[in-house]
Chain A
């Protein structure tokens, strides 16, 4: 069973700053990794699939990279609506999440 680890647990940043979130898999998952954004009281929203492909309607400031066991979600310049929890997912396993909050 693959285990996903996300770091950091919490990232405190200001609007306009760059956010870099990490997801590490316990074994190689090739490029089969997705990222989700979840805001309080809402369902998760798919941001990135296959490690680097933006889902429909996702702004270009969101980008994903990586393969094998190490993956990164980058938000190039944080907008107020980007403060949320972010999860990575491989097949039917989710990481524990990274909370991006306002500094």
Chain B
């Protein structure tokens, strides 16, 4: 079955760029049936959608984060990546990658999540 796995640094300094990668296994990221999303959850708080990428490379970002977010895809490696620039302590969160079904808009598969702390 399809699995997602996040990877990247767990500690980022303020003002620097957070970079994470999600590796998709058990299925192809090139399927037209899905969007590939990043979602985050600050400690003790709710879920915030960051943005998605389609296999074609088209993207859509949360307007509140749009100026700082870049999501890219590498279909040859079956991976997609997140870059969040100019981070502050408010960006400290568990970051999840997730698969969103185009037809239902539901996030049916999630990675386990990776904790990223912004601190000097």
Contacts and interface: CB of A to CB of B under 8 A. Distances in A.
Partners in one complex: yes
Interface residues of B, number: 19
A99 to B, nearest CB: 11
Contacts, number: 50
Interface in A31-53: 32, 34, 36, 42-46, 49-50
Interface in B48-74: 48-49, 52, 62
Given A96-B46, A97-B46, A49 B110 contact: no
Given A43-B96, A43-B113, A44-B110, A49 B48 contact: no
Interface string B96-120: 1010010011111011110000000
Contact of A91 (B47, B105, B108): B105
Contact of B104 (A43, A49, A87, A93): A49
Contacts of A3: none
Q: 5 closest pairs, A vs B, by CB?
A: A49-B106, A43-B110, A92-B49, A34-B106, A94-B47
Interface of A: 32, 34, 36, 42-46, 49-50, 55, 87, 89-97
Interface of B: 37, 46-49, 52, 62, 96, 98, 101, 104-108, 110-113
